[in-house]
Chains A and B, each alone.
Chain A
Amino acid sequence: MSSILRTFGRLRALFSRHKLDTDLNAEFAAHIDLAVDEYVERGMSLAEARRRALVQFGGMQQARERQRETRSLMHIDILRQDLKYTLRTLGRDPGFTTIAVLILALAIGANIAVFSVVNTLMLRPLPFPNAHELAWIAPPPTKCGLSCATYSVDAYDEFRVGSRSYQDVTGYFAFSSSDNLSLKLGSAPITATSIDVIANFFQVLGVQPAMGRGFTADDARNGAAPVILLSDAWWRRQFNADPNIVGKAFDMNGHQTTVIGVLPASFDFGAVFAPGTKVDAITPLNLYGPPRDWGNIVTMIGRLKPGVSLAQAADEAARVAPTMCWNNKQPDTCGQYKGAVVPVPLKDYISGKLRRALVVLWAAVGAILLIACVNLSNLLLARAAARSKEFAMRGALGAGRGRIVRQLLTESFVLSGAGAIFGLLLAVSLIEWFAHQGAIALPLLSTLHIDGAALGWTVLIAVFAAVLFGLVPGLRMASGNLHETIKDTSAGSGQSRKHERIRSVLVVSEVALACMLLVGAGLLLRSFMHVLDVDLGFQPERAAAIKVEYDDSVPGDKTGELTTQKRAAIFQQTLSRISAIPGIETAGFVDYLPLSQNRSWGLPFPKGVKPPDKVDSPLVYVVTQGYFHAMGTRLRGRDFTWSDGPHSANVVVINESFARFLASYTHWPNNDAIGQLLSGGGPGNDMRVIGVVDDVHEENVDGDAGWQIYYPATQASPSSAQLVVRTTLPPAVLGATVIRTLRDLNPKQPLAEFRPIQSLVDHANSPRRFFMMLVGAFAGLGLLLAALGIYGVISYSVTRQTPEIGIRMALGASAGLVQRQILTGTVRLAGIGIVIGAMASLATAKLIASLLFDTSPWDGVTYIAMAAGLLAVAVLSGYLPARRASRISPMVALRAN
């Protein structure tokens, strides 16, 4: 009890120092007065009484110190002393302080930022309650894109009813295209993107709307009044964060649609399920309407019951799968999902592929931190060397070693603390910037923020860094021989040499780390250049696309023939008007753009040949004439024409890979598909191949192109219409004219975005570019720090050797020789570092092999280029001190000693 009281008292004493001191002085004065009174009473003179009183009291200052020591916490008082001293010494050397804090801020800032990214994508659970229960249910990867990664409504129903492992299973419509919502507020409709989800979507994910209500089963019934949930971002952007939005109805896609709620800011559909795209609103998917017959359209997400393991769920899914039918009305489709229903943790689906890249990124910033620490160690060693006499003097005056180490460590903690504060500021702005890079196709990016874990991490690495870079100089200083140090002059005695050896070791390790970073960045850069060189099968330059609204419905059209004719007329008219715009070379329609979405129908096969089992279907595109030219895709054979109508023979165009695959099952003259008949899979029965086009990278840039088949929009039905134009002018210039023309033709045409095709490619490459840029930036930083380290060491050794150089020059050494010798020293240090770094890279390069594209992790060119670059930078940073050395005047140098 009393010891607790005492601790409180001592703590309080820390903050009321001044008052307590005044009190104590008054008490001492009273003490002396009382003593003097007593002595005077005994008959002494006042002077004698005073003298006696003071003698009896003893050392006044000692008594005061003793009392202070007792009443307060000594450690903190010493700390305060050290801090004051540190701030004073650092303030006296602003150049050093600025550089040190800057280096640390960069390194710590980069570390916090990357930690936040890693934490969000890898460590932290997904932003849903009990996120570990969520499972993504999908088939293993296939060639046929989204259509083979989704399920039919019948299959979903069967799975949901047949599985006992889940609390509930939900999903969303995977084929919503962007800009699919046309909101009519003013004169021209505005486009937005909405996703159809199964009514229980938000219950399964555990997301509560911030305002209003979520969907109910009734919202998804046939004939239900249209309702919509707005994303927080869209609500703010489009509706000015209207607090009374719930219940209001708007004209969306021609229907009065009621806003029933606003989603919380923490839920971003795009960030989780469709990285790099923005989803503005969510609408209910009516499973019991037409979607029932659309084939594979929904994804599946399940929430496991508590206590059910993923392995159990997987076992069960394997049992349920054979009972699922593609369409319950077609018994022969039952069982086709066998082996194609596999639950994986939702988090693995979302960010699992990024794990390796994140680990590499983390390692890269870790290396940066190490390099920064080595650099700081070096700077502090140089400083400590300059201050060694001060410390020796303090030692001689009775300061213990612990006290000196403590003083030095206080300095490192102050430096790293300041570095951490600035680093945190840097990280906050970096993270803010990352979070707003909506175009980068990385999941959860928009949810990035600095959280408690990131702050904890900051403290951790700040302490780690301080100990790391402060300990070596501290121990070095404290272990020195006092006598030697005081004697040690700048003329190169043993102590300085030892110092220099440590510093050389530090520089070598720094160069080695920088070398590893550079090699890693170089490999990623080379991969990225290879990716940019990939023949995409189309030419994105000077091509752009815009989503076009059209109404091809014909009332009472039983066969669909009239609809097709009406559509063909609309398309033909649109294309002729658009092509007439000056600056537009060609134009064509497609329903799905490459690198965005895709779907497949069935497997067309050479007529009369039985297709093998278990073969993926080609991706299907419905296009018009002019599309291939507008896209820049090479075509052999002929293009579609407007005369390929509903009454003429069915025609298709296929890609090279698919043509080769088909040719291997049959005997075609010259193995050429052109002119051959295919059957099955498409809308018509027999389809003649009229052309073969280049393989187009449909799903990604760095993978293999799959099989593709193109149907004419005059015979098959497109799911939407993207107008693709090839221009002779920069596309951005033509956007306004194109939209005006489209609105002229159809006043319902919304103000959709006129997107350069290049943006699709950039979007697909964005994660790779993101990682490459980050690692590249870190490597650049590492290089800079290493150069700084080399400069510091060489510069210091030149200063130390000034008298020696002076003597040598006095004895006839030329300036060139001096310069050469110093540069040789530099190259030796850098060379050792590079060799060690290169060997370490060779050993660890396998780690990043999976991130590389078309590049060996042991790519000689990269290694040699990076080593040469590093060496050049080393020579450059050694050159400045070398030049200084060669200009030493012997007279001055010798006199100075």
Chain B
Amino acid sequence: MTPQPGKLDLLQGTLDLMVLQTLVAMGSLHGYGVARRIEQISGNEVLLNQGTIYASLVRLEQSGLISSSWGVSSNNRKAKFYSITKSGRKKLASDARHWERLTGVMDRVLGMSKDTGEEPV
């Protein structure tokens, strides 16, 4: 039922981080807005289906990292709006640090030259 858990794991963590960052940057936002925003920033590369955002949103909400309430959008549509909580901000800060370290390591590892096995200078 769960398609290829290895891939999903990475995606899950990443998506959560993106959502948190989006909410920090944009303030209170509905699901569609979050999805659109991530699509725009990533140049349509990350998110395949907008629907996947809702699993991430419910997970973050249950963990107390974001909160939600029903409200009305600028074009008068009733929608559920999400905003980041205090612990969400803390989590974002620590996860972002972690992510930077990981990408740094990944860059270095992947940038290793093939024959010497040494770091390119």
Contacts and interface: CB of A to CB of B under 8 A. Distances in A.
Interface of A: 1-3, 5-6, 9-10, 13, 23-24, 26-28, 30-31, 33-35, 37-38, 56-60, 62-64, 66-67, 69-71
Contact of B51 (A30, A37, A38, A59): A59
Contacts of A56: 49-50
Contacts of B35: 31
A71 B62 CA distance: 7
9 contacts: A1-B87, A2-B65, A30-B79, A31-B30, A31-B50, A34-B73, A58-B52, A70-B55, A70-B59
Nearest to A30: B79
B78 interface: yes
Contact of A58 (B2, B31, B36, B49): B49
B77 interface: yes
- The residue among B58, B61, B79 with the most chain A CB atoms within 10 A of its own CB is B58
Contacts of B59: 6, 70-71
Given A30-B30, A56-B50, A69 B79 contact: no
Contacts of B61: 9
Given A63-B54, A67-B55, A34 B79 contact: yes
A10 B62 contact: yes
Contacts of B91: 2
A57 B62 contact: no
B64 interface: yes
Given A30-B32, A34-B77, A69-B1, 7 more contacts: A2-B87, A13-B62, A30-B80, A62-B51, A63-B52, A66-B51, A66-B54
A70 B2 CA distance: 11
Nearest to A34: B32
Given A2-B87, A2-B91, A35-B32, A70 B63 contact: no
Contact of B50 (A5, A58, A67, A71): A58
Contacts of B79: 27, 30-31, 34
A57 B77 contact: no
Chain A CB within 10 Å — which of B55, B56, B78 has the most? B55
A413 to B, nearest CB: 22
A56 B59 CA distance: 22
Given A2-B87, A24-B54, A57-B50, A31 B31 contact: yes
Nearest to A398: B1
A6 B63 contact: yes
B4 interface: no
Interface of B: 1-2, 30-33, 35-36, 48-52, 54-56, 58-59, 61-65, 73, 75, 77-80, 87, 91
B49 A5 contact: no
A2 B55 contact: no
Contact of B62 (A9, A28, A38): A9
Nearest to A10: B62
Nearest to A37: B75
Nearest to A71: B58
Secondary structure call for the B interface? helix
Q: Which applies to chain A's interface (DSSP): helix, strand, loop or mixed?
A: helix
B62 A5 contact: yes
A339 B86 CA distance: 82
Contacts of A6: 59, 62-64
A63 B49 contact: yes
Closest 7 CB pairs of A and B: A58-B49, A63-B51, A9-B62, A2-B63, A30-B79, A70-B55, A34-B32
A395 to B, nearest CB: 15
B54 A33 contact: no
Contacts of A34: 30, 32-33, 73, 75, 77, 79
Contacts of B54: 24, 27-28, 63, 66-67
Contacts of B75: 34, 37
A138 B33 CA distance: 90
A33 B77 contact: yes
A27 B73 CA distance: 13
Contacts of B48: 58
Contacts of A71: 55, 58-59, 62
A665 B52 CA distance: 106
Residue from A3, A35, A60, A71 having most chain B Cβ neighbours under 10 A? A71
Contacts of A57: 49-51
Contacts of B87: 1-2
Contacts of B58: 67, 70-71
Contacts of A28: 51, 54
Contacts of B30: 30-31, 34
A36 to B, nearest CB: 10
A67 B60 CA distance: 12
B20 to A, nearest CB: 12
Contacts of B65: 2
B14 to A, nearest CB: 15
A6 B91 CA distance: 14
Nearest to A27: B80
A16 to B, nearest CB: 12
Contacts of A30: 30-32, 77-80
